[in-house]
Amino acid sequence: MPPAGTPEATGGIDQTLDLGRPVGEALKDFRIVDKLGEGGMGIVYKAHQLSFDRDVAFKILPPHIASDKSFVDRFIREARMSVKLDHPNIVRGVAVGEEHGLHYFAMELVDGNSLDHYLKSAGKLSVGDTVRIIADVARALHHAHSRNILHRDIKPAN
């Protein structure tokens, strides 16, 4: 058996350099289009969902996290719960899965910039915008919390 993480062990997929996700590569029903960003919990790509002919955000767990079964179990559980959330201020999950040892979560792709990007470019928000954003976030969190779902990474970049 080839060593984990090698192209031989992952069906020819090279997991080096950004997990080896070249533009155009397909994982199950999703074709990688472009890298959107990364954080401690994974790398997020823009991908195209072939079956529905739509673009999605596509998060892949990095191998150092995916090697922890308890973390993978939590990732899958939280992704499945997020699919059940139906709220205008919550991005909806569309799929969760694994291929070639890579665990992924696909969700709606939101056009536009994050609050973090807006604050860096515009400086600060008006009082009215601040109140509206806080109210929207509070309603979304209430919706999730009422279903026993906690968001573990609330920040303007998300």
Residues 105, 96 contacting (CB under 8 angstroms):
yes
What does the block give as tokens for 42?
């994974």
**Mind giving me the DSSP string for the chain?**
-PPTTSTTTTTT---HHHHT--TT-EETTEEEEEEEEEETTEEEEEEEETTTTEEEEEEE--HHHHT-HHHHHHHHHHHHHHHT---TTSPPEEEEEEETTEEEEEEEPPPS--HHHHHHHH----HHHHHHHHHHHHHHHHHHHTTT---S--STT-
Which residues are the active-site residues? 153
Sign of CA dihedral 14, 19, 21, 27: positive
